[in-house]
Structure 1
Amino acid sequence: MGSQENSSCPKALGTWDLETLDSSSPDSASHLEEQWPKPSPSLNDEDSMDVVLEDSGEIRSLASPPPGREIIRYEVTVNRRNIEDICLCCGSLQVHTQHPLFEGGICASCKDTFLETIFLYDEDGHQSYCSICCSGHTLFICESPDCTRCYCFECVDILVGPGTSERINAMACWVCFLCLPFTRSGLLQRRKRWRHQLKAFHDLEGASPLEMYKPVSAWKRQPVQVLSLFGNIEKELESLGFLERGSGSEGGRLKYLEDVTNVVRRDVERWGPFDLVYGSTQPLGRSCDRCPGWYMFQFHRILQYARPHPGSQRPFFWLFVDSLLLTEDDQVTTTRFLQMEPVTLQNIRGRVLQNAVRVWSNIPGLKSKHLALTPKEQQSLEGQVRTRAKMASQKDDPLVKNCLLPLREYFKYFSQNPLPLY
């Protein structure tokens, strides 16, 4: 079935050019929908083709509007209100703008929640919240190997049709509303060129000074090319499925440099182009002749060499990790050079702080998941630094992995390297 407790999908799923389909004529779209196999009426048939379930179109005869989000269906089917005038996330009629993925509105409060959660991922590699309402407790996950989207029970029952969650739950393998070749499922209508819409939504409504790159269609994603400075993240990338073991350049490529003192621009241009530049201060507990600030300045220098030419639409990401070694003045300088406020990531197990790092990055989703530290938390971390400095060097691998998860929207994923991370 398609819930988060599901087993692996037993069927191979085809790849469809949704950007092309979304821009096609109505006649072409109708033809595709006719060719797509209809779901079997037998919900217990394991061999049925598991696709979206269309709404029956039945209109409830209610004397008054229903409570909660059920008002969405009531307003559209009974009052004939345009769904663009209703918030898909909560049912409010106070619409701030349009939902970027599906036809419908979104209110100011839900817009903020959407921006904070749409690029958050769990350790299984799928998104943490529903792609429609950016909430939800129990989620269906799309079982297309190239998709990371999830949908909550409430959204599919309200927007697709009552009982849809039960029918999806009975399926052996389910693909989501952004992966199907046809665009409408009940009241849920996928937007044309939704990847462009998502980028435009983020650029217009987001608080970040940096623009977001448009997510790349699964069939257009290429293996990632990585420049790793001062710390080798090859194993992390392999475990996440971004690098294919033993495949050479065809399965992604990583260039690792421990000392960049003599590296000049022509060297980086000859090794590149790169999609991701990673750098870090030395791990705590490891002796080093260089001050922590040296790592930041060298990272910034090499980053300028690796950046794509102005006007390039190719997604380019960077990530600088500080193992809590930079002084306050160094942190201010780093923020000024990288033009990005830091985020503190904490590894907490059993309410005990195991590890922490500060991160500067343009990878989407990091900023919203981790709030600024309180003075008490900052004091606790400083004590943790002193304690850890006396111990053997501790790795930041789990925290770095969590930072890289959103890149599945942009680069090829090799499924033989399974998630979860641990």
Structure 2
Amino acid sequence: MGSWEALSSCSKALSSPGTWNLETPDNSSPDPAGHLEEQKPLKAENNMDVVLVDSRELLCPTSPPPGRDRIAYEVTVNHRNIEELCLCCGSLQVYTQHPLFQGGMCAPCKDKFLETLFLYDDDGYQCSCSICCSGDTLFICESPDCTRCYCFECVDVLVGPGTSERIHAMNCWVCFLCLPFSQSGLLLRRRKWRHRLKAFYDLEAASPLEMYKTVPVWKREAVRVLTLFEDIQKELRSLGFLESGSGSERGRLKHLDDVTNVVRRDVEGWGPFDLVYGSTQPLGYSCNRCPGWYLFQFHRILQYARSHRGSQQPFFWMFVDNLLLTEADQATAARFLEMEPMTLQDIRGRVLQNAVHVWSNIPGVKSKHMALTAEEEQFLQAQGDARAKLVAKGLAPLVKKCFLPLREYFKYFSQNSLPLY
């Protein structure tokens, strides 16, 4: 884990020594086996602290308070089912249920949850609260390989007043999804929440592609990658998905510059693969092939590498266009890849440096979409030499960030350097 000081720029909360406080064990589940499958017990370590507060500690005012504070009032005073309240804002206009914790969600909060669920900061942690998908100051879970954060307001409203101060005083805090205990105050983790999260995304997201169920930490394996036309080994290693010293347990990458003579038997022999990446030729790269060739060859190899239909094994792909495909080629790509492209922009100091079109089934890529105006696209196309120098240094940081949600599915090596830059 990176130092707390390195996270200060992302408005994450610092912490200092504290003690264990374990309450409300999850022994009410009618399906112990199912619970064990979903939550692996943590080892008790001296530097790991937990806060779980009994719901009786919650503040119970005599009249309904405004905003989210009404959640405790409605549940403890009016005995309202928490599923009838929006866990994110306290609204009574519930549209659906929160996928991770017991409670409802109104329509606006549902949209925000879907948009921010797989967005990550440069430090490799999710950039918003896992409960309300908002929050200015966040606590980071210190459970190994967990990337989730929680805002001060959520823990004070749902766990109990003053909880944020108690967490702030701890040496190392474990979040509500990593604990072997399901309830703290009014915050009750759903059983098999990974299944619930996938079902929630499949039902509510405006995407034709189905999301894979996230994988528990202890089941994650190293990622197997096939890269076409552009080698991204350096970028994946900097993100922690590959490690020096090859071996199946360290992850592996197969790179191909020319796939003209590659057939299905070759790809199946090299595989299986978990991630397939391809792009149009890098800017400044001399080649006698048209940009459309890269698209068609990527689609062909992708069919060879895909998992069998109906497989629940996570399989991801990404194709990046360096603004070289024509409008007709982009329309063809949208038809072949069954989705519209996202436009990712590299903006530094409020100046647009570069942009790419991206097709991918990696969660969160769609949320990063920022369309270019016709003038901006013409400007970037005219800046071929300047953009080529940027691309020569490696993938733009905005493209690297797109791979961060894969930490929910594959093993990564936390000793590798973060942040991205």
TM-score (norm 2): 0.89
Cα deviation 1:207-249 (Å, max 9, x = unaligned): 0000000000000000000000000000001000001111322
The residue matched to 1:51 in structure 2 has which SS?
coil
Task: Give the conservation status (yes or no) of the 8 Å contact 2:337–2:359.
Answer: yes
The residue matched to 1:296 in structure 2 has which SS?
helix
Residue 312 of structure 1: aligned partner:
311
Cα deviation 1:75-94 (Å, max 9, x = unaligned): 01111100011000110111
The residue matched to 2:108 in structure 1 has which SS?
helix
Identity across matched positions, percent: 70
Does residue 154 of structure 2 align to residue 155 of structure 1? yes
Deviation at 1:106, TM superposition (A): 0.5
Cα deviation 1:279-321 (Å, max 9, x = unaligned): 0001112221110000000000000000011221100000000
Deviation at 1:23, TM superposition (A): 7.0
Deviation at 1:372, TM superposition (A): 3.2
Residue 357 of structure 2: aligned partner:
358
Residue 340 of structure 2: aligned partner:
341
Residue 135 of structure 1: aligned partner:
134
Residue 246 of structure 1: aligned partner:
245
Cα deviation 1:182-228 (Å, max 9, x = unaligned): 10011000000000000000001110000000000000000000000
The residue matched to 1:228 in structure 2 has which SS?
strand
Q: 1:405 to 1:49 in 2, by over 3 A?
A: closer
The residue matched to 2:403 in structure 1 has which SS?
helix
- Counterpart of 1:382 (choices 374, 378, 384) is 378
1:11-26 correspondence runs (5 A) = 24-25=31-32
Task: Give the conservation status (yes or no) of the 8 Å contact 1:52–1:180.
Answer: no
Residue 218 of structure 2: aligned partner:
219
* Amino acid of the structure 1 residue aligned with 2:217: A
The separation in 1 between residues aligned to 2:238 and 2:350, in whole angstroms, is 26
Residue 296 of structure 2: aligned partner:
297
Deviation at 1:56, TM superposition (A): 5.6
* Amino acid of the structure 2 residue aligned with 1:238: R
* Amino acid of the structure 1 residue aligned with 2:336: F
The separation in 1 between residues aligned to 2:362 and 2:242, in whole angstroms, is 18
Task: Give the conservation status (yes or no) of the 8 Å contact 1:140–1:152.
Answer: yes
The separation in 1 between residues aligned to 2:294 and 2:48, in whole angstroms, is 54
The residue matched to 1:57 in structure 2 has which SS?
helix
Task: Give the conservation status (yes or no) of the 8 Å contact 2:240–2:413.
Answer: yes
The separation in 1 between residues aligned to 2:305 and 2:225, in whole angstroms, is 10
The separation in 2 between residues aligned to 1:142 and 1:256, in whole angstroms, is 35
Residue 14 of structure 1: aligned partner:
none
Q: 1:240 to 1:61 in 2, by over 3 A?
A: closer
The separation in 1 between residues aligned to 2:42 and 2:129, in whole angstroms, is 29
Deviation at 1:102, TM superposition (A): 0.2
* Amino acid of the structure 2 residue aligned with 1:137: D
Deviation at 1:10, TM superposition (A): 10
Deviation at 1:21, TM superposition (A): 11
Task: Give the conservation status (yes or no) of the 8 Å contact 1:364–1:406.
Answer: yes
Residue 82 of structure 1: aligned partner:
81
The residue matched to 1:182 in structure 2 has which SS?
coil
Cα deviation 1:249-306 (Å, max 9, x = unaligned): 2200000000000000000000000000000001112221110000000000000000
Residue 70 of structure 2: aligned partner:
71
Residue 202 of structure 2: aligned partner:
203
* Amino acid of the structure 1 residue aligned with 2:216: S
Deviation at 1:170, TM superposition (A): 0.7
Task: Give the conservation status (yes or no) of the 8 Å contact 1:277–1:318.
Answer: yes
The separation in 2 between residues aligned to 1:35 and 1:143, in whole angstroms, is 11
The separation in 1 between residues aligned to 2:327 and 2:375, in whole angstroms, is 13
Does residue 96 of structure 2 align to residue 97 of structure 1? yes
The Cα RMSD (Å) is: 2.8
The residue matched to 2:201 in structure 1 has which SS?
helix
Deviation at 1:381, TM superposition (A): 2.4
Flag structure 2 segments of 5+ consecutive residues without an equivalent. Answer: 19-24
The separation in 1 between residues aligned to 2:270 and 2:408, in whole angstroms, is 24
The residue matched to 1:394 in structure 2 has which SS?
helix
The separation in 2 between residues aligned to 1:95 and 1:337, in whole angstroms, is 38
Q: 1:253 to 1:50 in 2, by over 3 A?
A: same
Task: Give the conservation status (yes or no) of the 8 Å contact 2:307–2:315.
Answer: yes
* Amino acid of the structure 1 residue aligned with 2:221: Q
Task: Give the conservation status (yes or no) of the 8 Å contact 2:342–2:369.
Answer: yes
Task: Give the conservation status (yes or no) of the 8 Å contact 2:344–2:370.
Answer: no
The separation in 2 between residues aligned to 1:321 and 1:21, in whole angstroms, is 48
Deviation at 1:7, TM superposition (A): 6.8
Residue 185 of structure 1: aligned partner:
184
The separation in 1 between residues aligned to 2:401 and 2:256, in whole angstroms, is 22
The separation in 2 between residues aligned to 1:97 and 1:390, in whole angstroms, is 48
TM-score (norm 1): 0.89
Deviation at 1:354, TM superposition (A): 1.4
Task: Give the conservation status (yes or no) of the 8 Å contact 2:345–2:370.
Answer: no
* Amino acid of the structure 1 residue aligned with 2:322: S
Moved over 6 A (4+): 7-11, 18-23, 34-38
Residue 408 of structure 1: aligned partner:
407
Residue 266 of structure 1: aligned partner:
265
Deviation at 1:145, TM superposition (A): 2.5
The residue matched to 1:197 in structure 2 has which SS?
helix
